[in-house]
Amino acid sequence: MVKGYRLGVPRAIVPANIGSVELEFEQLGDPQNPTILLVMGFGAQMIGWPDTFCSALVEQGFHLVRFDNRDCGLSTKLDGVGVDVDAVMVAALADLPVPPVPYTLSDMALDAVGLLDHLGVEKAHVVGASMGGMIAQHVAIEHRHRVISLTSIMSVTGEPEYGQPLPEAAAVLLAPPAVERETYIEESVKYGVWQSRRYFDADRVKLEAARSFDRSFYPEGSSRQLAAIYASGRRTEGLSTLDVPTLVIHGRDDTLLPPSGGERTAELVAGSTFLLVADMGHDLPEPLQPMIVDAISGHVRLAEWSMTSNC
């Protein structure tokens, strides 16, 4: 099921793809404007999209929808559902059949499409970051008729040869987080290993960690999301046949999913635009947001014009 809210309107429920999944979501801006669906990444809640970033896109004249992926935030959590993440990763990296997983990125893409159905949005501009970029790619490949444009930010193609985490970033990613609030907040600065070095602000990182912890602390879901990433395999064929207007944005200093992942994405999608951003890591630092917002806005407007002119 998909559950959400808009400006105080009571929640509504509609069918989705697996059992009874409920997605917590938020709408920003005028629903009469072109819709941008924001898909957040691994273990991150919808508030991972910075408020300043969202406000800037609204000011550009867009209607935004951001939501918590399943197993994260205030959306449905698959409590107690086990998965052997190590076995899935080993098999995927060796191009061997992977063990069963609770869900895949295709299922998460269906969640996103189900949310569009719930909102009555026929077509949207889909923007995804990190794992959200992977989900956005699946939406574009598997539900082409629902996508006006695709923006893939700091993401990869599912090919193990491209965009693999550097050892120091992987170590932090896979380490279990502290479960006590104050310790979790203090240790959040370790994520600086993959964030934009030039703009790293420890105080801001701690504030965001506190906000995230207080809203929903649920590390269990991350293991199932990680399994979904690796079990979903390569998107090589789907991306190489994709005919959706595509913008690929990647940070030059990204150590979690290095730039080769973005370069490969742009290489596979014919006619795509690749923006490699200096001083950007695996985050959206405020000083770089105006440039990124302008790039997305220009891309979305061009796709809107192209769609209108072809009607």
**Residue 53 domain-assigned?**
yes
pLDDT, tens digit (0-9, with 9 covering 90-100), for 139-171:
999 999 999 999 999 999 999 999 999 999 999
**Residue 192 domain-assigned?**
no
Range in 6-10, 75-79, 152-156, 217-221 with the lowest mean pLDDT: 6-10
**Residue 44 domain-assigned?**
yes
Task: Please tell me the total count of domains within the chain.
Answer: 1
**Residue 11 domain-assigned?**
no
**Residue 16 domain-assigned?**
no
Closest by Cα among 163, 203, 213, 221 to 183? 213
**Residue 304 domain-assigned?**
yes
pLDDT, tens digit (0-9, with 9 covering 90-100), for 275-299:
999 999 999 999 999 999 999 999 9
What percent of the chain lies above the pLDDT cut of 90? Answer: 90
Beta bridge pairs of residue 124: 147
* 146 φ, ψ (degrees, to nearest 5): -100, 0
**Residue 109 domain-assigned?**
yes
pTM listed for this prediction:
0.93
**Residue 178 domain-assigned?**
no
pLDDT for 7 beyond 50 = no
pLDDT, tens digit (0-9, with 9 covering 90-100), for 231-265:
999 999 999 999 999 999 999 999 999 999 999 99
Q: What range defines the domain where residue 221 resides?
A: 25-166+217-309
Q: When comparing pLDDT for 6 and 194, which is higher?
A: 194
What's the whole-number average pLDDT of the chain? 92
User: Are 112 and 37 within 8 A, CB to CB?
Assistant: yes
pLDDT for 12 beyond 90 = no
pLDDT for 10 beyond 90 = no
Q: Which CATH number characterizes residue 92's domain?
A: 3.40.50.1820
Helix (H) / strand (E) element for 114: namely helix 105-119
Distance CA 66, CA 143 (A): 19
